[in-house]
């Protein structure tokens, strides 16, 4: 009598990296770096109506040392750039970055000497969510795209 006969068809086999990817994709710990008007839309998408809990990304962290998703929300000035870089460096590995809003993605309509023309010139960005401000549905789609990316990445132990 083999193990298959004893268990029947009631077991599932998988690889450890698939389990780790599944756990990581549904347990995102966001750190919102809010600087401008897109913060109002961040609060809207964080409210109960859109239910970020179903994606495992509802509870914001209040220190970058506990976070693995940096959500940069709003305009970044050159004076703020070193602070943003330091926040990114303090985050745990693996870490991801979401550029939230057109000002964060490209500088928006602030094409001047004081504004960073896209945060990807300072830190690596994984997901871009453009819009002025982006709709909550676009932010949710960005989180879903990040989850797909996490699922496909090779896990290192």
Residue 145, Cβ density class (10 Å: 0-12 exposed, 13-18 middle, ≥19 buried):
middle
Nearest to 31 by CA among 98, 82, 125, 120: 98
pLDDT at 79 over 60: yes
Query: What was the pLDDT predicted at 144?
Result: 93
- H helices within the chain, ranges in order? 3-7, 16-25, 38-46, 81-90, 102-106, 136-152
Helix (H, G, I), strand (E, B) or coil at 120: helix
Give CATH for domain 28-152. 3.40.50.12280
Report whether pLDDT(157) > 70: no
**Mean pLDDT (whole number) for 124-133:** 94
56: closest CA among 27, 35, 94, 98? 27
For residue 136, pLDDT over 80 is answered with yes
pLDDT category of residue 9 using cuts at 50, 70 and 90: low
Which has the minimum average pLDDT: 33-47, 52-66, 125-139?
52-66
Please state the domain extents for the chain.
Answer: 28-152
Confidence category of residue 8, pLDDT binned at 50, 70, 90: low
- pLDDT value at 55 more than 70: yes
Q: Which residues, in sequence order, are CB contacts of 49 under 8 Å at separation 6+?
A: none
Picking from 110, 112, 108, 90, the residue whose alpha carbon sits closest to that of residue 99 is 108
């Amino acid at each position: 009598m083999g193990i298959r006969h004893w268990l029947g068809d009631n077991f599932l086999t998988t690889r450890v990296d698939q389990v780790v990817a599944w756990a990581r994709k549904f347990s995102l710990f966001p750190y919102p770096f809010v600087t401008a008007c897109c913060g109002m839309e961040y609060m809207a998408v964080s409210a109960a109506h859109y239910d970020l809990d179903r994606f495992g990304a509802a509870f914001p962290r209040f220190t970058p040392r506990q976070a693995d998703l940096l959500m940069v929300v709003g305009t970044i000035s050159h004076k703020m750039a070193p602070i943003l870089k330091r926040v990114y460096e303090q985050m745990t590995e693996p870490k991801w970055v979401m550029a939230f809003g057109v000002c964060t993605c490209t500088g928006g309509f602030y094409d001047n000497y004081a504004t960073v023309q896209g945060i990807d010139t300072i830190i690596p960005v994984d997901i871009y969510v453009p819009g002025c401000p982006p709709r909550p549905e676009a932010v949710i789609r960005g989180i879903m795209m990040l989850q797909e990316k996490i699922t496909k990445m090779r896990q290192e132990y």
